[in-house]
Amino acid sequence: MRKKLLFILGICMWITVGAGRLCLSAAPTTVVARGAVGPGVRYVQKTLNLVGVPAGPEDGVFGPSTEKAVRVFQARKKIAVDGVVGPSTRAALENEVKAVEKKRAEQRKLEEKRVLLEELKKKTLDARKSAFDSTANQSGAGTIYLTLDDGPDPDTTPRILDILRRSAVPATFFVIGKRAEQHPEILRRMIAEGHSVQNHSYAHDRRPPPLAAQVEDDMARAAKALESITGVAPRCYRPPYGDTSTAVFEAARNQGHIVTLWSNIWGAGIEAVKAAAFDGSIIMLKEEPETVESLPEIIESLRVLGYRFGIIAPAGVGIPTD
C-alpha cells in the first residue's frame, strides 16, 4: 500500500443527482492532502463537484485541481484555507451532502404532490364527464344541475325551496355543517322534497387550512353532521371559495368525496347563467336574497332553451329528475 494513502473507507452516502443516484463511498475520516489517491479522494471530488466547486476529473487523485477546489470550498465556508481535507473541512463537506440530499428530497416531494394534484383533478373531471354523458337528454338540450351554496339560511333557504317546489325543479344544496346543525329542519325539508344535500365544509373559513389533515378534519366533521340530520352521507365536496389546492384534493380522496365546482361566473346575472348552459353544466347560486329574486327567471330561461334539471346525487352522479 502506498505511503501517500491517507484515508480509510467510510459509510456509503446516497444523494440524488439529476435522474440517477451516485454512491459517494469512502468519505475520508483522516486528513487527505495533495498526493493522496483512492476512494476517499474520489469522495471529495464528487462532493465538491456536486456543490458547485469544480474539482476536475473524479479520478481519485488529489492533484492541483482538487487542491484548488478544496481551497475555494474552505474560503466559502470560512474554514482555514490550507487545501487539506481535515476534520473541519470533512464535516463541512458532509453537511453539504446532507443539505443537497434534503433539497432533492423536498423537490421530489413537491413534484409528487404536483403529479398527485393533476391526477386527482383528471379523475374528478373524468368522473363528472362520465356521469353527465350517461344522463344526457336525447330529446332536448340536455341536463342542467342547479346548485345552491352557503346555507341553510332560516329566511332565504325556505323561500328558495318554495320556488323550486312551485317550479317542480330539483337542486343540489352545498351546505355548511355548522349552519346545518343550527337549522336541521331545513335540511330535512330539502331531502323530503327530492333535493340533494352535499358538503360545503363545516366552518367555511375564509382561508382554508394549509394541511390536508386539517381540511379533512373539517370535511369529515361536516359530513358527519349532514348524515346525522338527513340520514344520507354526502359524497360531493365544494371547497369554500373554490379552493383547488393539493390539500383539498388529498382530503377529498381520503374522505371518498368528489370535488365539485361550477360552470358559470357567479354574480354575473342571468345572462351569464345562460351563457354557461350546456348539457351537464353545474350552475352555482348563493342562498341569498338576490337568488330569490332571480331564480324564477333563471329556471324559465333554461327551460325555454330546452334544458331539464337534475340533482348531484350522494354517489356523485348527476341524475335528471324532471
For residue 154, give the amino acid letter: P
Pull the grid cell for residue 176. Answer: 355548511
The pTM for the full model equals 0.58
Tell whether the model's pLDDT for residue 15 goes beyond 50. Answer: no
- Round to whole Å and give the CA distance between 251 and 212: 5
Tell whether the model's pLDDT for residue 25 goes beyond 50. Answer: no
Across all residues in the chain, what is the average pLDDT? 81
Are 5 and 32 in contact, with CB atoms under 8 Å apart? no
pLDDT recorded at residue 101: 87
Band the pLDDT of 65: cuts 50, 70, 90: very high
Are 89 and 79 in contact, with CB atoms under 8 Å apart? yes
Tell whether the model's pLDDT for residue 159 goes beyond 90. Answer: yes
User: What are the backbone dihedrals phi and psi of residue 17, each rounded to the nearest 5 degrees, phi first?
Assistant: -135, 115
Are 152 and 171 in contact, with CB atoms under 8 Å apart? no
- Round to whole Å and give the CA distance between 211 and 47: 35
Tell whether the model's pLDDT for residue 108 goes beyond 70. Answer: yes
pLDDT recorded at residue 122: 65
Please give the residue that has the higher pLDDT: either 98 or 176.
176
Sequence-separated (6 or more) residues with CB below 8 Å from residue 54: 48, 65, 69
Radius of gyration of the chain (CA): 31
pLDDT recorded at residue 291: 93
pLDDT recorded at residue 117: 63
Query: pLDDT digits over 197-209, tens only?
Result: 999 999 987 665 5
Among 16-20, 42-46, 124-128, 222-226, whose mean pLDDT is lowest? 16-20
Name all domains of the chain by residue range, CATH numbers in brackets.
1-134 (1.10.101.10), 137-320 (3.20.20.370)
Band the pLDDT of 158: cuts 50, 70, 90: very high
